[in-house]
């Protein structure tokens, strides 16, 4: 279930997922609707997804957390580490200041850039400002980020 959610996020380049989209995916598998909602609750309890509980106590809309995506990437998307490295170097050396600039510069989807930026922010390497439209601005790059980018560029 978790991999299916992650694959859908990467494939569709979406942040929020409606559980109906996952229902469609599992319709041909031997997974009941009850199991789907139990799985979503377990994933939420383990901080892999973040969702809104609707009437009836079910998670209907949710998004993959940065932590969740990193777990997925570790096992199923090894190039993510390289993308994150390139994003770090680019925000330090190229002064790229938004997710759209980075996406264009690195020829990578915005959703992957967004997860990389979130990871870098969680590590304290930068600060991000986000807008409702999905734009992400990068600012306040730390000295640790600058040093690490220098080491990775060598």
11 pLDDT more than 80: yes
Average pLDDT on 26-38 reads 84
d(CA 102, CA 46): 30
CB-based contact 128:87 (threshold 8 Å): no
Q: What is the pLDDT of residues 123-142, one digit of tens each?
A: 999 999 999 888 999 999 99
- Angle between helix 110-122 and 99-106 (nearest 10): 120
CB-based contact 19:58 (threshold 8 Å): yes
8 pLDDT more than 90: no
Q: What is the pLDDT of residues 67-122, one digit of tens each?
A: 999 999 999 988 999 999 999 999 999 888 899 999 999 999 999 999 999 999 99
* Pair type for strands 127-130 and 16-18: unpaired
pLDDT at 96: 83
Percent of the chain predicted with pLDDT > 90:
64
């Amino acid at each position: 279930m978790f991999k299916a959610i992650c694959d859908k996020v990467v494939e569709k380049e979406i942040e929020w997922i409606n559980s109906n989209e996952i229902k469609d995916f599992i319709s041909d598998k031997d997974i009941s609707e009850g199991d789907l909602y139990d799985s979503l609750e377990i994933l939420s309890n383990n901080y892999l997804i973040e969702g809104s509980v609707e009437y009836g106590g079910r998670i209907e809309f949710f998004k993959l957390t940065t932590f969740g995506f990193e777990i997925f990437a570790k096992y199923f998307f090894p190039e993510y580490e390289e993308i994150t490295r390139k994003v770090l170097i680019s925000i330090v050396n190229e002064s790229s200041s938004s997710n759209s600039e980075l996406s264009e510069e690195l020829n990578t989807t915005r959703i992957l850039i967004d997860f990389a930026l979130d990871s870098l922010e969680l590590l304290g390497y930068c600060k991000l400002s986000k807008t409702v439209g999905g734009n992400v601005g990068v600012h306040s790059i730390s000295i640790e980020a600058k040093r690490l980018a220098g080491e990775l560029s060598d």
